[in-house]
């Protein structure tokens, strides 16, 4: 299993810092990125879909709170959980700027309740094992060279009987030959018109975006075999593939080998819900009670944190983790100092 590199993590942080300053503060970093109105429209549609999807899971008897969102970005899905579905939980992301922007988007969409926001590394989640009945992510795992390390961490922090929902993750398109670079995705620039061009782009163009130019991983070449290995630890795996013309197939034990072949050949998106083996406990810890010291986690130990006035402290190793602009930083000292030196230098941290 290959972990996301430190350089790729720095690329994520820098790109999303620039993106937020452009879309919220009006600063200019990219000439062809979606503006505030366009991204607000996209977020609104995603929130409506999240509300419908999570409501369906809840109506089906699934426990969806307390929840953990991985790769929460602007916290739009967590805001739905908090304000529309009565849930409580944690919005986790490596981007402090995205998490900090939650307050701005609460104003945009008229929301009142916010999640507990945690800036952390998904490769080593700073949460206690067996804590959450529900975890989810949306278009996050393709920013990794391999989804398996993060799905293994999600499996660890899920409580027995807990569920993990993944949504709209890309997988490899076998029938593809890169001959030229296509139009940028998430760009406001006009695209070449015509159905023929669209089909040619599907078969022969290399996708590009401002993210990759900043060093962010856009891994759309995760094979179905890799996805199967990444999700193999779950007891129940209700995962579906969707390719062109809305052809669908199950990833595991497909009912139609022909539909599975079409999905394998033409690539597409993977979504679904997986269940961790075991019997669900009678109760779950609160989001704050599920926090774990990342310094102890690096040593293979687990220690809960205690809330102080402006930090969360570890009683086992005496590490302190600051809260800045409402965001809790949960990195071990060495990683914290490298990823966020400007915040680390001002924090009272004892490794």
For residue 293, what are its two tokens? 């010291």
- pTM as predicted: 0.94
Which of 31-40, 179-188, 297-306, 333-342 comes out lowest in average pLDDT? 179-188
- 204-218, 235-249, 324-338, range with the lowest pLDDT: 204-218
Predicted confidence (pLDDT) per residue in 162-221, tens digit: 999 999 999 999 999 888 888 777 666 556 667 888 888 888 888 778 888 788 988 999
Nearest C-alpha neighbor of 63 from the set 39, 85, 80? 85
Q: What are phi and psi of 329, to 5 degrees?
A: -90, 120
Q: Across-strand partners of 250?
A: 240
**Residue 255: what pLDDT?**
97
d(CA 109, CA 97) in angstroms, rounded, equals: 18
Name all domains of the chain by residue range, CATH numbers in brackets: 6-171+216-291 (3.40.50.150), 180-213 (no CATH)
pLDDT (tens digit, 9 = 90+) per residue, 267-321? 999 999 999 999 999 999 999 999 999 999 999 999 999 999 889 999 999 999 9
**For the stretch 239-278, what's the b/e string if a residue is b when 16 or more beta carbons lie within 10 angstroms of its beta carbon?**
bbbebeeebbbbbbebeeeebbebbbebbbbbbbbbbbee
Assess contact for 51 and 81: CB atoms under 8 A: no
Mean per-residue pLDDT over the chain, rounded: 93
- Residue count (the chain): 351
């Amino acid at each position: 299993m290959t972990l996301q590199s430190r350089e790729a993590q720095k690329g994520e942080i820098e790109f999303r810092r620039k993106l937020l300053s452009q879309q919220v503060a009006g600063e200019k970093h990219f000439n062809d990125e979606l503006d505030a109105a366009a991204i607000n429209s996209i977020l609104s549609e995603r929130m409506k879909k999240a509300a419908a999807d999570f409501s369906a899971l809840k109506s089906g008897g699934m426990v969806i709170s307390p929840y953990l969102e991985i790769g929460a970005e602007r916290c739009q899905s967590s805001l739905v959980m908090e304000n529309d579905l009565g849930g409580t939980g944690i919005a986790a992301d490596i981007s402090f700027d995205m998490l900090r922007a939650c307050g701005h988007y609460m104003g945009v969409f008229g929301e009142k309740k916010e999640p507990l926001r945690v800036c952390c590394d998904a490769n080593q989640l700073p949460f206690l094992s067996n804590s959450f009945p529900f975890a989810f992510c949306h278009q996050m795992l393709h920013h990794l060279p391999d989804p398996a390390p993060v799905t293994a961490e999600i499996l660890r922090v899920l409580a027995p009987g807990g569920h993990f929902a993944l949504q709209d993750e890309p997988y490899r398109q076998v029938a593809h030959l890169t001959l030229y670079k296509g139009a940028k995705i998430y760009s406001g620039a006009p695209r070449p018109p015509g159905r023929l061009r669209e089909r040619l782009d599907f078969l022969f163009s290399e996708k590009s975006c401002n993210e990759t130019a900043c060093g962010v991983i856009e891994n759309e070449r995760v094979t179905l075999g890799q996805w199967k290995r990444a999700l193999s630890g779950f007891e129940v795996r209700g995962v579906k593939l969707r390719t062109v013309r809305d052809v669908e197939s199950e990833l595991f034990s497909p009912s139609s080998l022909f539909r599975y072949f079409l999905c394998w050949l033409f690539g597409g998106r993977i979504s679904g819900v997986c269940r961790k083996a075991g019997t669900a406990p009678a109760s779950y810890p609160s989001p704050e009670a599920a926090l774990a010291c990342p310094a102890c986690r690096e040593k293979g130990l687990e220690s809960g944190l205690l809330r102080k006035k402006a930090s969360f402290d570890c009683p086992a190793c005496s590490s302190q983790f600051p809260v800045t602009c409402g965001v809790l930083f949960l990195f071990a000292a060495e990683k914290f100092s490298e990823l966020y030196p400007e915040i680390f230098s001002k924090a009272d941290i004892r490794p």
